[in-house]
Amino acid sequence: MKIGNCDLGEKPVFLAPMEDVTDPSFRYVCKKYGADMMYTEFVSSDGLIRDAAKSLAKLEIFDYERPIGIQIYGHIPEALVESAVRVEAAGPDVIDINFGCPVKKIAGRGAGSGMMREPDKMVEITRRVVEAVKLPVTVKTRLGWDEDSKIIVELAERLQDAGISALTIHGRTRCQMYKGEADWTLIGKVKENPRMHIPIIGNGDIKTPEDAAAAFERYGVDGVMIGRASYGHPWIFKEVKHYLKTGELLPPMTLKEKVELAKEHLAQSLRFKGERGGVLEMRRHLSCYFKGLPDFKETRLRLVTENDPAAIPPLLDYILERWGDEQ
C-alpha cells in the first residue's frame, strides 16, 4: 500500500489521530512497537492561522516517527487551506483532513463529522486543500451523519475525484459517537466499488489481532487504523503484525515488561512536556497499563494522583513487587 511516495508495505497498521492522546511521547512508544504510520493530535485550522501556541506545538514531528501525518480540522474553507500550507512547511509525509470527529464542540459548529451534513462543502474544501499543497492529502471521515444519511459510498468517489491519496473510514455515524458496534459493511462496499483506486483504511473496533485479520479478510481494506484500543496497550501494533504474518498470537506482555515500558513512556512524557505536563499527560496511560490487576484500586489512585515525577518509578517498582508473582 502506498500513499503518495510512502510505501507502507502490505496490510499496514495505523495509529489513529486522537486529541490529548497521540502526543510525541505516546507516538514514541507506538512506533517502538511497530505502528506503520502515525498521526499527530488534530490541529485546529483556526488556531493555527492565529499562531495559537497549543496548535503550533502539535506541528512538532521527528524523523524517527516517519512516515507521519499531521491532521487538521475546521469548517472555514480559507482557514483550512491556509493551515494546510503551514502544515506542509512543518514537513510531514501526509496532510490529513479530519471530517470524522463526533465531539459536540467540533461537529456542532460544522467541523469534523459535522461536515457530513454538508457533503458539497466537504468536497470543495478537500479539492482546495489538495490544490494548495504538494504533499499527499488524505481524509478521515465516518459513514454519515445518522442512520438515515449514510452517504459514504458516493462520498468516497467524490473525495477521490477531489484528489485525495487515501481515505480512512470509521464505521459509525456521527450520531453513534463511539457507541454500539462499528459497521464495516459500508467500508467494504467502498472498497468493492470498481471506481475506487485509492487505498481505503478501515477504522472502528479493532481491539485484537483477530479483529484486524478479519477486517482485511472480510472487507478487503488496504490498511487498518487502531485508536482507543491502543490506550495503555501500545504493543497492540506488534501483536497485530505478528498475527497477520504468522497466524499466531504473541505471548502476553509480562508485568515486568509493562513496568519497564511505563517508565520509558514516563521519561518521554517528561522530556516533551516538562514535569507538570508530563505527569498529567501520563495519568490516562498509567491507569490503563495495569488494567486487570486484582485489588488494584488503591494503587491505581496513587498512580493517577501523584504529582512528583520522581515518586512514580518507585511506585511502578512496587507494582512489580506486589503483583509480579501473579502474572
pLDDT tens track for 232-271: 899 999 999 999 999 999 999 999 999 999 999 999 999 9
Q: Is the pTM of this model over 0.85?
A: yes
Looking at residue 55, its amino acid is S
Q: What is the pLDDT of residues 26-42, one digit of tens each?
A: 999 999 999 999 999 88
Among 14, 55, 56, smallest CA distance to 36 is for 14
Residue carrying the nine cell digits 513496568 = 259
Looking at residue 50, its amino acid is R
Q: What is the CATH number of domain 255-326?
A: 1.10.1200
Residue 88 pLDDT grade (very low, low, confident, very high; cuts 50, 70, 90): very high
Q: Considering only residues 68 and 47, tell me which one the structure prediction assigns the higher pLDDT.
A: 68
Query: What's residue 271's pLDDT?
Result: 93
- Nine-digit cell at 56? 503550533
Query: What's residue 292's pLDDT?
Result: 87
Query: What's residue 326's pLDDT?
Result: 60
Cβ within 8 Å of residue 248, ≥6 positions away: 242
Is the four-CA dihedral 252, 258, 261, 266 of positive or negative sign?
Answer: positive
Q: Judge whether 171 and 206 are in contact, CB under 8 Å.
A: no
Residue 173 pLDDT grade (very low, low, confident, very high; cuts 50, 70, 90): confident
Which H, E and C letters describe the chain, residue by residue?
Answer: CEECCEECCCCCEEECCCCCCCCHHHHHHHHHCCCCEEECCCEEHHHHHCCCHHHHHCCCCCHHHCCEEEEEECCCHHHHHHHHHHHHHHCCCEEEEEECCCCHHHHCCCCHHHHHHCHHHHHHHHHHHHHHCCCCEEEEEECECCCCCECHHHHHHHHHHCCCCEEEEECCCCCCCCCCCCCCHHHHHHHHCCCCCCCEEEECCCCCHHHHHHHHHHHCCCEEEECHHHCCCCCHHHHHHHHHHHCCCCCCCCHHHHHHHHHHHHHHHHHHHHHHHHHHHHHHHHHHHCCCCCCCHHHHHHHHHCCCHHHHHHHHHHHHHHHHHHC
Q: What is the pLDDT of residues 178-198, one digit of tens each?
A: 887 889 999 999 999 999 999
Q: Considering only residues 295 and 113, tell me which one the structure prediction assigns the higher pLDDT.
A: 295
- Nine-digit cell at 27? 507516538
- In angstroms, the Cα distances linking 197 to 99, 157, 161, 201 are 20, 9, 10, 12
9 backbone φψ class: left, alpha, beta (φ>0; ψ -120 to 50): left
| Nearest-angstrom CA–CA distance, 285 and 288 | 5
2-246 CATH pick, 3.40.50.300, 3.20.20.70, 3.40.50.150, 3.40.50.970: 3.20.20.70
% the chain with pLDDT above 90:
73
> Is the model's pLDDT at 213 over the cut of 80?
yes
Looking at residue 308, its amino acid is D
Return the active site residues. Answer: 101
Q: Any idea how long the chain is?
A: 327
Cβ within 8 Å of residue 297, ≥6 positions away: none
Query: What's residue 182's pLDDT?
Result: 86
- In angstroms, the Cα distances linking 176 to 48, 179, 303, 304 are 29, 5, 32, 30
Query: What's residue 116's pLDDT?
Result: 86
Query: What's residue 106's pLDDT?
Result: 85
Query: What's residue 327's pLDDT?
Result: 53
Query: What's residue 135's pLDDT?
Result: 97
Query: What's residue 176's pLDDT?
Result: 73
Query: What's residue 124's pLDDT?
Result: 96
Burial (CB count <10 Å: 0-12, 13-18, 19+), residue 276: exposed
Q: What is the pLDDT of residues 125-156, one digit of tens each?
A: 999 999 999 999 999 999 988 878 889 999 99
Among 170, 249, 246, smallest CA distance to 208 is for 249
CATH 3.20.20.70 in the chain: give the residue spans: 2-246
Mean per-residue pLDDT for 76-103?
92
